[in-house]
Amino acid sequence: MVFRKLMAAFGAGVEVDTVLTGRDVRPGELLRGVVHFRGGKSDYKVEGIYIDLTAVVEVESGDSEYKTSYSFQRTQVAGTFQLAAGAQHQHPFEVPIPWETPISAVGGHPLHGMKLGVHTELALAGALDKGDLDPLYVSPLPAQNHVLAALDRMGFRFKGADLERGTLYGSTMPFFQEIEYYAGGEWRRRFNELELTFIAGPHQMDVILEADKKGGFLTSGHDAYNRFTVRYDDPPQAADAALQRGLEAMARRRGWF
Q: Report d(CA 85, CA 83) in Å as an integer.
A: 7
Cβ-contact 44, 83 below 8 angstroms: yes
Q: Which of 43-47, 51-55, 226-230 has the lowest mean pLDDT?
A: 43-47
60 and 77 co-located in one domain: yes
Q: How many domains does the chain have?
A: 2
Same-domain status, 24 and 130: yes
The yes-or-no verdict on residue 11 having pLDDT over 60 is: no
Which of 138, 164, 197 represents a domain boundary (last residue)? Answer: 138
Q: Which domain holds residue 60?
A: 4-138
Of 224, 212, 215, 216, whose CA–CA distance to 255 is shortest?
224
pLDDT of residue 6 exceeding 50, the answer is no
DSSP state of 219: S
pTM above 0.75, yes or no: yes
pLDDT tens by residue, 25-42: 999 999 999 988 888 777
**Do 130 and 67 share a structural domain?**
yes
pLDDT band at 132, cuts 50/70/90? Answer: low
pLDDT score, position 130: 58
**Residue 164 shares a structural domain with residue 228:** yes
pLDDT (tens digit per residue) in 161-201:
999 999 999 999 999 999 999 998 888 888 899 999 999 99
**Predicted local confidence at residue 10, as pLDDT:** 45
Give the helix ranges, DSSP H, for the chain: 142-153, 236-252
Phi-psi group of 7: left, alpha or beta (phi > 0 → left; psi -120 to 50 → alpha; rest → beta): left
Largest CA distance in the chain: 77
Judge contact between 150 and 117, C-beta under 8 A: no
Lowest mean pLDDT among 42-56, 149-163, 170-184, 224-238: 42-56
Of 138, 158, 184, the domain-final residue: 138
pLDDT at 223: 77
Which residues, 6+ apart, have CB-to-CB distance to 199 below 8 Å? Answer: 100, 168, 170, 171, 176, 205, 206, 208
What confidence category does residue 220 fall into, taking pLDDT thresholds of 50, 70 and 90?
A: very low
CB 91 within 8 A of CB 78: yes
The backbone torsions φ and ψ at residue 234, rounded to the nearest 5 degrees and listed phi first, read: -70, 150
Mean pLDDT of the chain: 85
Residue among 246, 207, 199 at smallest CA distance from 229: 207
pLDDT higher than 60, residue 128: no
Using the predicted structure, report yes or no on whether residue 255 has a pLDDT greater than 60.
no
Euclidean distance between CA atoms 97 and 3, whole angstroms: 25
Answer yes or no: do 81 and 147 share one domain: no
Average of per-residue pLDDT across 207-215: 81
Q: In angstroms, rounded to a whole number, what is the distance separating the alpha carbons of residues 80 and 91?
A: 12
134 and 11 fall within a common domain: yes
| 219 against 45, higher pLDDT | 45
Residues 59 and 104 in one domain: yes
